[in-house]
Amino acid sequence: MDPRLITAVIVVVGVPAVLVGYIVATEQVLRIFPGRVQPRIRPWLWLAPALAFLFVFLIYPTIGTAVRSLQDQLGTKWVGLDNYAWFFSDNGTLSALKNNVIWVVLLTVLAVGFGLLIAVLVDRVRYESIAKSVIFMPLAISGTAASVIWLFMFAYQPQGAAQTGTLNAVLTPLGVGPVPFLTVSNFSFNTILLVIVSTWTWTGFCMVIISAALKGINPELLEAARVDGANEWQVFRGIILPLLTPTLAVVSTTIIITALKAFDIVYVMTNGNFDTQVIANEMYQVMFNFGDFGRGSAVAIVLMLAIIPVMALNIRRFQAQEAIR
């Protein structure tokens, strides 16, 4: 038998047993203390495992990376802000940065836009749940598999040969192609193609959240407007859209962060070639192809600094929500 199977069984059964045992044991430990003190100690015992994991896997390494970003390749010498100076002057990283901006703008517009459109439209048809499942399904597919799916969509054969890629098979008879997708460098065209793959994945996410907010709008409100003679477009612009604004804001921030962290699709489909490099893939290459953990750390910190303001907005909103609760 595979020894790893034994390990896995031990882990699947043993780890929950240990964790449950831990919580039960805390009550025994608490008995030592006087009853008055117990409620003050207990929460910390319940929080301890989570806090330990968060410290070791998020807090400590973030500090470590920030420190490491001020050191050289091997971590033997302090170099001040040199790694950041490299990041903001190197042609490769600047091009990655530019592509990430394209990702952020385009993915947000496309995924949130399509998500809104589909959420509003399927609300009016009887096969709503099937339609939603179809749009939502790509979210369960890994970035790797999505990349393979779209490599077949974008496949390119030279002029004259039978096209095997779906898009070129449609475009060529129209006289537009064959288009050499993802195989030659030309401005940001290839990056846009990768954003389309990601749009295919994330539209369902946006649609589901927007749709839930849409169901929360009082139908009498819409009906009243219609009775007063408003057409569907006026109902949408005047009532639905303003009520959806907070939801659209939350969905947009999530998508912006997704776009900033884009990695899988780029790694698998082009590996950053043909003018498609992004920050996350740049970091991976700096770390593993060039073994430069100093620069890699600086790239990671830049990524985090880009995410913080977006996330801060979300948490602010979350706190406002908590205040109402």
Partner 1 sequence: MTSVAAAEATAGTASGRWGRRLGHLPTHVVVILLMFLWLIPTIGLFINSFRPSQAVQSSGWWDIIFQPSQVTLQNYQYVLGQSGLWPGFINSLFITIPATIIPIFVAAFAAYAFAWMDFPGRNVLFVAIVGLLVVPLQTTFIPILQLYGSVHIDIGPIQINNLNGQFLALWLAHTGYGLPFAVYLLRNFMGGLPREVFESASIDGASPVTAFFQLALPMSVPAIAALAIFQFLFVWNDLLVALIYLGAANPQNDPLTIVVANLVNSLGSGWWYLAAAAFISMALPLAVFFTLQRYFVRGIVGGSVKG
Alpha-carbon distances of 53 from 47, 48, 201, 307, rounded to whole Å: 10, 9, 30, 22
Q: Can you tell me which of 143, 188, 189, 192 binds partner 1, judged by CB under 8 A?
A: 143
Tokens linked to 71: 């050191």
- DSSP designation for 274: T
Question: Which of positions 70-109 make contact with partner 1 (CB under 8 A)?
Answer: none
Cβ 184 to partner 1, closest distance in Å? 17
User: For the chain, how many helices (H) and strands (E)?
Assistant: 16, 0
Nearer to partner 1, 102 or 311 (CB): 311
All residues at 6 or more sequence positions from 186 whose CB lies less than 8 Å from its CB, including other chains = 275
Q: Which stretch binds partner 1 (CB under 8 A): 90-98, 145-153, 176-184, 236-244?
A: 145-153
Cβ 74 to partner 1, closest distance in Å? 12
Q: Can you tell me which of 46, 78, 88, 290 binds partner 1, judged by CB under 8 A?
A: 46
Cβ 187 to partner 1, closest distance in Å? 24
Question: Which of positions 5-34 make contact with partner 1 (CB under 8 A)?
Answer: 7-8, 11-12, 15-16, 19-20, 23-24, 26-27
d(C-alpha 52, C-alpha 58), whole Å: 10
Binding status of residue 230 toward partner 1 by CB under 8 A: no
Cβ 102 to partner 1, closest distance in Å? 19
Cβ 250 to partner 1, closest distance in Å? 5
- Applying CB under 8 A, what is the total number of residues that bind partner 1? 118
Taking residue 169's Cβ as centre, other Cβ atoms within 10 Å add up to: 16
Cβ 12 to partner 1, closest distance in Å? 6
What does the radius of gyration of the chain's CA atoms come to, in whole angstroms? 26
Nearest to 113 by CA among 216, 236, 202: 202
Q: Can you tell me which of 76, 89, 91, 319 binds partner 1, judged by CB under 8 A?
A: 319
d(C-alpha 135, C-alpha 99), whole Å: 26
Cβ 191 to partner 1, closest distance in Å? 18
In sign, the C-alpha dihedral spanning 208, 213, 214, 218 is: positive
CB 307 within 8 A of CB 260: yes
d(C-alpha 218, C-alpha 225), whole Å: 12
Question: Which of positions 270-309 make contact with partner 1 (CB under 8 A)?
Answer: 271, 280, 283-284, 287-288, 293, 296-297, 299-301, 303-304, 307-308
CB 232 within 8 A of CB 164: no
Tokens linked to 183: 């195989």
Question: Which of positions 232-271 make contact with partner 1 (CB under 8 A)?
Answer: 250-251, 253-254, 257-258, 260-261, 263-264, 267-269, 271
Q: Can you tell me which of 164, 185, 186, 218 binds partner 1, judged by CB under 8 A?
A: 164
Cβ 263 to partner 1, closest distance in Å? 5
Question: Which of positions 166-205 make contact with partner 1 (CB under 8 A)?
Answer: 166, 169, 200, 203, 205
